Structure 1
Amino acid sequence: MDAPVLPMPAPLCLVNNKDGKLSLDPTALEVLRGVTQPLVVVAIAGLYRTGKSFLMNRLAQKRTGFPLGPTVHAETKGIWMWCVPHPRRPGVMLLLLDTEGLGDPNKDDDDSDAWIFTLALLLSSTLVYNSVGTIDQRALEQLRLVTELTKHVRVQEEDDNPASNFVRIFPGFVWTVRDFTLQLRAGEKTMSEDEYLEDMLRLQTGNGHRAQERNELRHCLRNFFPRRKLFTLERPAADADLSRLEELREDELRPGFRKQVDAFCRYIWEEAPVKVLPGGHQVTGSVLAGLVEKYVAAITSGDVPCVESAVTALARAENTAAVEAAVAEYQRGMEQGLVLPTASYDMLVAVHRDWEQRAIALFLSRAFADNGRQYHAELVRKLEAAKEEFCRRNEEASEQRCRAVLRELWQDVEQRLQRGDYAAPGGAQMFQDDLGHVLEKYQWWPEKGVKADAVLEVFLREREPLAQALQATDAHLMMMERERKAAAAKEAAAREAEVARLKEQQRSLEEHSRQLEQRLREEQRLRLEEQDRMLEHRLKEHRALVEEGYKRDAEAMRRQIDRLREEKKRIEKPSWISSAVDLLGSVASLFLPGVFGKVAGLVTNVVKRIF
């Protein structure tokens, strides 16, 4: 079966859930791998038969797509995906994930709800939770899965307190409340939707077991999801029309509902971020496909999915592919940009520099979690080897051309030799004159390339016995002088080529380091922004705990804030950038002999630029 062509005309099942066992659909995975643009991933979760699919179809700007279904039976099983062009951001794709409804009484496996919800969290950059009625204790209880996430997700392989790191990887949280009929008021004061949500998440008074359970859930929602948003939606149509919602015209939907849904869609389109991995690397279709494979494999084997181990395993394959893609881009560009032989080594290097720069940029745009710089060092090695191969081919092309030129120029001399013209009186002078003409024409012949002197030296050495046999002393001396000059030029050219090669290796490493530094600066900026967001969230939560009288929780939160501040200070230091550049230079020096001993100076320059 051929994979559908993007954009996808209709949703595909990505994760099957059959009898509580999860599996991946190969066709959907193949389609996902073909998405090379960054992804904004929006997943929706909630109780079954609450209208989740309708909202996702609206986000896709379609009336139909994800099945709505007119009965009380759940239509969506597993996780379905629909990848469409982003309505607001060129070059970005919007991936919609419609999940199986929670709490379906027809399901035999209670764990499948938890795993579907976990996958929605891990895969999305924005999670929409859809419920009906109001945000009351019953509605909050339906989110009880949030309190059990420590059983289903690990952020790091060695993590004593996994919940404290959830905020680093969890998506933004949007709560949509369907069929909402209450007035948003607190006494005489009108409340916004977000104020209503925060009021419902305030910790409850009391020390009993029931109060602790209620507050545990509120703690989790507040701590795990610092980016929270609420949308309330009135009933979309009259009760009699709800079963045919897909068929209703736009003007048959209630105006208030249309306005609310439009506000929800605008928020998602304008505010939902691109999915990123820890460290800020944007997720494409191939990366997301790799992640879902790792997570589902862990779940089906009975393990708890670990974000760090999944990213590390995925990075190996993705970084290897990034190296190969960068080298392929370099070789393609060199093949198109070079006409061999080049007139000089510098001409080849000029083209090399252009495509090397592009190859490095391509690699750095795709590579991630290359903390040991082994893949970047592999790129350095392969680009150097590819450049040397082009140099070899350039020299070979030059040799072939020079030999062909000399054969052509020597034809008249060869014919005279065969006729015996040089054996007659005055033949030696005639040979000397003809030889001079050959050498003069060769000197001015265009496009001989970098091996002109070396080929000429060999040519003259091979014909020395001929001049001696003809007793053409002057011609013999001329050949020996030209041979000597050609040999000297060859030796000088070799020395210059070696110096140029070593300088080029040094320049190449500096280009790698320059682009790596830019990438690391961007990573530093993203990490500091993440730290600031987490600090802002923790400080806000600390203030709320103090105001609500939870001194012990507030003290624990203050310790988390102190740790975040210390971590921010470490990120702000330039040492981790300089050490990364140093590491790349050290590894590169193993196969770039011209740069050993210059790495320290290179790192010093990088640090100076940072300051």
Structure 2
Amino acid sequence: MRVMMSGPVCLIESDKNGKFHLRKEAKDILDGINEPVVVVSVVGLYRTGKSYLMNRLAGQQSGFALGNTIESKTKGIWMWCVPHPSKTGQNLVLLDTEGLGDVDKGDSKNDGWIFCLAVLLSSTLVYNSRGTIDNDAVQKLHYVTNLAEQIKIKSLSSPSEEDDVGGEDDYKFVCFFPSFVWSVRDFTLELEIAGKQVTEDEYLDFALNLKHGKSRNVSDYNLPRECIRSYFPSRKCFVFQSPASPESMKRLESLKEQDLVPAFMEATSRFCDYIFAESGVKTLKGGHKVTGKMFGNLAQIYVDTINSGNVACLDNAVVALANQENQAAVEEALKVYKSGMEEVKKKFPVNVTDVTQEHQSVSSLATSEFIKRSFKDDNQEYLKKLEENIGQYYVNLLDENLNASDRKCKELLKNLFFKMNERLKEGEYSRCGGYEVYCRDRDAIIEQYHSEPNKGVRDEAVLIEFMKERGPEANVIFYTDEKLTKKEKEVQEEREKKTLMEQKCKEEEKKRVESDLMIKAEKMRQEDRIKQMEEKLNKEIEQRRDEMEKAVESKLKEYEELMKKGFKEKAELLDQEIKKLQEEKESIGEVVGKFLGNVVDIVPNLLTGKGFKWR
């Protein structure tokens, strides 16, 4: 579903007590988006023109409040969802954040969490500043230095580990953090370093260069630069001239494009083109793509975590979101199965072949639906739940089909024997030679019964039961028929016994064939399920390897820079991080065999369970 919003709405607001709240209106909008989302957040000091860039990405001149005074207009985090302009099947979620350093607010803790939320929620983070990227501008981005304290990757296994929060795994942030874009507004300088023309990206790299030395001043200077270089997988820079004269800036929203400075419009166009082309779908740790509905749930998870005073944990967030999605995936898949089986259910009674073939086909679709939506079901908890639900529903269907067959066969025999019962009441079979007439009429009815179609699985069993019930009346007619000699009666008795035995053997053979058919169908269904799971796992492994490969590439680039500029000690530490990432990448594939080994035996044998009445 592609949502069309006429303007932005508040996604997350903060109250006077510093608590964050996810707005229901925004959550409802996100719940309606089942497509993957590309999430672009803009952060920066207040009154630096952040909202204008978001409006341009939305393809509009206005929308996010710009304001024309020193007062910050954006409070909390505002959201605008629009169809992606160049990628079908995706939605663009634009997040405009409350300006950092707002003098009216005076709460740096709130600023830190706003910045943290923007990092956690986005696939591309745009940092907006004014003037130049000098040391003052970098130091104002001090929020990035606190991320290792506000975010952790692994869940704490015990309270004693809380002292280790921050720093231990922050080298892995590069695997999961958004790409970083620095937008420099009202830039008036020449892009020139040491008399040589440079690109915007080279200008940013120059501004992020580290200093040699171990003094406190050098450490303070390097820290935010090291965090930016280490945490974000890619960096990009755009510089913008002032869009218009100071007088015109007060009415920027109403200005037409031809009224704006051409160089500003050219930079804006390049910025938008880059964001549209390079910003990827928001993914979770492990590479799972996030839909609009999942994004709303993810935002709620992080808001609840922050409000509780805990450190935001990527693992915990993924597990919590996975539990929500996996439960929904079970419900959706079961709905697919039930809906698919309705057609065969309408035809009851049918043969076992009809039920098992439909079950095999529809359950494969249901499993596919589950696999498509589920993720991180490491212990197959939700796959087991789905299979148990499908299995139980299947057993109930078999019972329903069996009962429908039972009713139909009994009703059919009742109708077929109606005239014969009337003759019995009138004593037509009680005369001399009556047993021969009785057998002739009975056999004709049985033959007619056999010729009737669509009796279902209970046809032979019901017939045997019916004939047993009529046994006493047949015996009375048989033994009182004076026409039959003693010898003829003995021969007839043997014939009746043989006929009954043949019917029983026929019924047993039919049950055996049906049982073999069901077992074969279940085996094929299990093979299909394992194949689907294997395909999903291989895809997830590739995603995780790509995730780690990009992280390694980013670290290697940084390693080369450090070595080139003489930071050998820092480069050696980075080399250790690279080796850890490479080792983790190599170990990813080991989970496949273990997982698939557990998939084989996840379904209880409901077909032979106590709850199933086998014919």
> TM-score normalised to the size of structure 1?
0.91
Secondary structure, aligned partner of 2:600: helix
Deviations 1:108-134 (A, max 9, x none): 322100000001111111111111122
Q: What is residue 609 of structure 1 aligned with on the other side?
A: none
Aligned equivalent of 1:300, options 307, 311, 331? 307
Distance in 2 (CA, whole Å) between partners of 1:567 and 1:464 is 76
Q: 1:569 to 1:218 in 2, by over 3 A?
A: same
Distance in 2 (CA, whole Å) between partners of 1:303 and 1:577 is 33
Secondary structure, aligned partner of 2:238: strand
Aligned equivalent of 1:310, options 302, 305, 317? 317
More displaced stretch, 302-311 vs 335-344: 335-344
RMSD: 2.4
Distance in 2 (CA, whole Å) between partners of 1:68 and 1:236 is 14
Verify the 8 A CA contact 2:388 2:604 in the aligned structure 1: no
Secondary structure, aligned partner of 1:161: coil
Distance in 1 (CA, whole Å) between partners of 2:605 and 2:191 is 68
Distance in 2 (CA, whole Å) between partners of 1:346 and 1:189 is 79
Q: What is residue 26 of structure 1 aligned with on the other side?
A: 24
Secondary structure, aligned partner of 1:470: helix
Verify the 8 A CA contact 2:391 2:606 in the aligned structure 1: no
Q: What is residue 388 of structure 1 aligned with on the other side?
A: 395
Distance in 2 (CA, whole Å) between partners of 1:481 and 1:590 is 36
Q: 1:244 to 1:486 in 2, by over 3 A?
A: farther
Q: What is residue 98 of structure 1 aligned with on the other side?
A: 96
More displaced stretch, 212-221 vs 109-118: 212-221
Distance in 2 (CA, whole Å) between partners of 1:304 and 1:93 is 29
Q: What is residue 59 of structure 1 aligned with on the other side?
A: 57
Q: What is residue 525 of structure 1 aligned with on the other side?
A: 542
Report how far residue 387 of structure 1 moved.
1.7
Q: What is residue 13 of structure 2 aligned with on the other side?
A: 16
Q: What is residue 606 of structure 1 aligned with on the other side?
A: none
Report how far residue 591 of structure 1 moved.
6.4
Q: What is residue 489 of structure 1 aligned with on the other side?
A: 506
Secondary structure, aligned partner of 1:295: helix
Q: State how 1:518-597 maps to structure 2 within 5 Å.
A: 518-572=535-589, 575-588=590-603
Q: What is residue 613 of structure 2 aligned with on the other side?
A: none
Deviations 1:315-357 (A, max 9, x none): 2232222212211211111113544325422221221122111
One-letter identity of the residue aligned with 1:80: W
Report how far residue 426 of structure 1 moved.
5.0
More displaced stretch, 34-43 vs 420-429: 420-429
Distance in 2 (CA, whole Å) between partners of 1:479 and 1:14 is 82
Secondary structure, aligned partner of 2:102: coil
Q: What is residue 192 of structure 2 aligned with on the other side?
A: 185
Report how far residue 590 of structure 1 moved.
7.5
Share of identical aligned residues, percent? 38
Q: What is residue 597 of structure 1 aligned with on the other side?
A: none
Verify the 8 A CA contact 1:103 1:113 in the aligned structure 2: yes
One-letter identity of the residue aligned with 1:261: T
More displaced stretch, 19-28 vs 449-458: 19-28
Secondary structure, aligned partner of 2:248: helix
One-letter identity of the residue aligned with 1:565: Q
One-letter identity of the residue aligned with 2:568: K
Report how far residue 157 of structure 1 moved.
2.1
Deviations 1:246-299 (A, max 9, x none): 222232223322222222222222221111111111112332222222221222
Distance in 1 (CA, whole Å) between partners of 2:241 and 2:344 is 62
Q: What is residue 520 of structure 2 aligned with on the other side?
A: 503
One-letter identity of the residue aligned with 2:513: E
Verify the 8 A CA contact 2:178 2:233 in the aligned structure 1: no
Distance in 1 (CA, whole Å) between partners of 2:504 and 2:445 is 18
More displaced stretch, 542-551 vs 486-495: 486-495
Report how far residue 363 of structure 1 moved.
1.2
One-letter identity of the residue aligned with 2:522: Q
One-letter identity of the residue aligned with 2:15: K
Deviations 1:161-191 (A, max 9, x none): 1321211221111121112222323355432
Please state if 1:269 is matched with 2:276.
yes
Q: State how 1:195-234 maps to structure 2 within 5 Å.
A: 195-234=202-241
Q: What is residue 415 of structure 1 aligned with on the other side?
A: 422
Q: State how 1:8-157 maps to structure 2 within 5 Å.
A: 8-19=5-16, 20-157=18-155
Distance in 2 (CA, whole Å) between partners of 1:178 and 1:509 is 59
Deviations 1:534-555 (A, max 9, x none): 1111111111111111111111
Report how far residue 437 of structure 1 moved.
2.0
Secondary structure, aligned partner of 1:503: helix
Report how far residue 379 of structure 1 moved.
1.9
Distance in 1 (CA, whole Å) between partners of 2:605 and 2:512 is 22
Distance in 1 (CA, whole Å) between partners of 2:246 and 2:322 is 51
One-letter identity of the residue aligned with 1:14: L
Q: What is residue 342 of structure 2 aligned with on the other side?
A: 335
Verify the 8 A CA contact 1:460 1:479 in the aligned structure 2: no
Secondary structure, aligned partner of 2:217: helix
Q: 1:268 to 1:481 in 2, by over 3 A?
A: farther
Q: What is residue 161 of structure 2 aligned with on the other side?
A: none
Report how far residue 477 of structure 1 moved.
7.0
Please state if 1:7 is matched with 2:4.
yes
Secondary structure, aligned partner of 2:20: strand
Please state if 1:458 is matched with 2:465.
yes
Aligned equivalent of 2:441, options 426, 434, 438? 434
Distance in 2 (CA, whole Å) between partners of 1:186 and 1:408 is 102
Q: 1:592 to 1:200 in 2, by over 3 A?
A: farther
Verify the 8 A CA contact 2:175 2:233 in the aligned structure 1: no
Deviations 1:459-504 (A, max 9, x none): 2111122222222779987765554333222222222333333333
Verify the 8 A CA contact 2:356 2:518 in the aligned structure 1: no
Secondary structure, aligned partner of 1:48: coil
One-letter identity of the residue aligned with 2:569: R
More displaced stretch, 511-520 vs 317-326: 317-326
Distance in 2 (CA, whole Å) between partners of 1:550 and 1:470 is 111
Q: 1:477 to 1:50 in 2, by over 3 A?
A: farther
Q: 1:31 to 1:476 in 2, by over 3 A?
A: farther
Secondary structure, aligned partner of 1:490: helix
Verify the 8 A CA contact 1:121 1:171 in the aligned structure 2: yes
Distance in 2 (CA, whole Å) between partners of 1:419 and 1:256 is 110
One-letter identity of the residue aligned with 2:89: G
Verify the 8 A CA contact 1:40 1:92 in the aligned structure 2: yes
Specify every segment of 5 or more residues in structure 1 that has no aligned partner in the other structure, as ranges. 595-611
Secondary structure, aligned partner of 1:422: coil
Q: 1:149 to 1:590 in 2, by over 3 A?
A: farther
Q: What is residue 160 of structure 2 aligned with on the other side?
A: none
More displaced stretch, 575-584 vs 330-339: 330-339
Verify the 8 A CA contact 1:45 1:99 in the aligned structure 2: yes
Specify every segment of 5 or more residues in structure 2 that has no aligned partner in the other structure, as ranges. 157-164, 482-488, 610-615
Report how far residue 386 of structure 1 moved.
1.9
One-letter identity of the residue aligned with 2:595: A
Verify the 8 A CA contact 2:3 2:83 in the aligned structure 1: no
Report how far residue 75 of structure 1 moved.
1.0
Q: 1:334 to 1:176 in 2, by over 3 A?
A: same
Secondary structure, aligned partner of 2:151: coil
Secondary structure, aligned partner of 1:74: coil
Distance in 1 (CA, whole Å) between partners of 2:117 and 2:246 is 34
Distance in 1 (CA, whole Å) between partners of 2:411 and 2:405 is 10
Deviations 1:513-553 (A, max 9, x none): 11111111011111111121111111111111111111111
Verify the 8 A CA contact 2:353 2:514 in the aligned structure 1: no
Distance in 2 (CA, whole Å) between partners of 1:374 and 1:178 is 51
Deviations 1:200-259 (A, max 9, x none): 222124443222212111111011012111122222223222122222223222332222
Secondary structure, aligned partner of 2:104: coil
